[in-house]
Chain A
């Protein structure tokens, strides 16, 4: 039987993070009342004139540089003409043969090895509006539809990959990497739930060892990393079944349904697409000179993969810890800031991965919005290493710092959390505990070492976790001549 090779190319639409839309000054805020962030430009009123938002251009160049693309000196916008109720002008303003970026790549880690996925192009375009179908959850059963144009003309970059992806797993890894990079660069907030990042996949099969591409299908509506992987697996299986039985693949668009994990052909009575692209006469050409590109190049941050490697080689972090510390820019910058205040890399990673991330998860918070600062964490770690506080108290302290944003020294002073290292005070507590537990004293006298743990526990309890356990141990050993 023929062995099939899978060929996948992804088109990712990322919403560029801006205050205002691509061609007008309406807000891009998500979730507002329908049609409250609209104006004559983004509703397609006759005579309205679009003017390009410079920030979108800067961010598209940033993404292009980070993905090793050529930044094209000459850019144009074109009209892509089609009718649909979510498109008020009757055309979408996009870029056709003069896109902002071309021919780049992204290195993606899959199963411990690096795969280089080529990028054909990155271009800028405007989003369409949003349709809500009424009377049915399916467009064909609907009695009518409601149009919300708040999304209309929100800026997008479309990132088109080469057909270099060879499995569903690779596609997911590529999508995750791209999401990490656009977030890291601040190009896109990467919020999949709000549709800031969407993906379509072009999938075809060909006999292993051949070069000619097979007939492809386009699977749309891949709105989560899991969907990308599952939908592609489904489509590979569907195409394999057809080809194994000697059938042929029909070039078509298929819609993925996440709830039922199935794809459905989108056959419409529409004529074959005929978009009649032409340069938009309302927008003037863009010339990007070398100075502009180098200005942006200089602001380019260290990228997550480079930082990941550096943390392993320079700081000695494990692959796991280095990955966690570069998962997003917030964590990376928090880690760097704490590190610069003298804390140990491993300690910071442990706390960020452990208690801090647990607290953030439980309180649906993030490092950016919580009250903990790198300075406070560094101070707390210093007190811990110094022995001013015990590990147990440190855990309590971190929760308080996250909750209230209070400086750890203040908390230690106010709540009396400092570890008791005063020998007199510790010995006094030990005496009290021993007098309360005559049976244990008998056991200790009889040389039962395991009873020591019980007494240490009781002393820690009495001191509310503040007694230095090493000192308690030492004193007990002295008292009962244990070793």
Chain B
């Protein structure tokens, strides 16, 4: 027990030691007042996700990645912008379209790619795959494959942080109690699950500091939002019906996300209240890697590509004098190299030993748990 505590304490504090803000959200009211380094980091993170995802698609087509694989391009500003508004030890949980959140949280491209390649160096040792990204050190609690399964869990993380603050009186790593906010991401398809309504009801009833971030990309697989949810133009009224703050935000402009989202984070943290954010965004690729996209036109996709969030931030930064064309080019090149290196490393890494099949089933493996298998303790996770 004590050994484990020490270990987690160390990893929590060292994980993002290189981060510009030492893991703390910036305090500026307006994104334009943020230090240049933070704005450039956003651009870098968004471009990293873009490049990573483009290479993920290639690798998938080369059959290096199996299973279902959901690409995040188009939505980069959402993960980077919202995660940029919280502290590093605020819990984050999301659905299966999770590569962007993992990278924005600080998971290395190598751990993320290796997971999809099914390698031991993957964030879950190759046991979770694309839809189940977990990173304890970076307070990422999944990657969940069942639509809306993560929404009651979001309330549960908020419950736990509130409990530690109010009942235990200490933080998870044994320090002074802090007020935390949980970010729980969801697709518009998750709006329609009963679990989400139960979660909102309890979060509001019990004053749980969780923010539901609806990544409203207009489609649940091939079903457009007007065909899958009632009164879809007025979703924030639902939140208000539960007594929660509800705000609609343009999710294509990261500076705007910061300006609108940051005050909500601060308020939820301070007042221990839930909120619901309808973040308008768009996905460039099909639902998963096997989607012929008969349900939307190329024109529609192109219209959104014209409003690309990365191009917008890059040009804003140039206008502000924070970035030159050359800087931008060399940043893109650096990222290309980084992702290529991640792919090479993932490729070179070992597949899990067959014996890994029977580890991590139980934290306390006992005799006779199975008639056919011998469960063992897991080998060390590369991220821990």
- The answer to whether A and B come from one shared complex is no
Chain A residues with CB under 8 Å of chain B are none
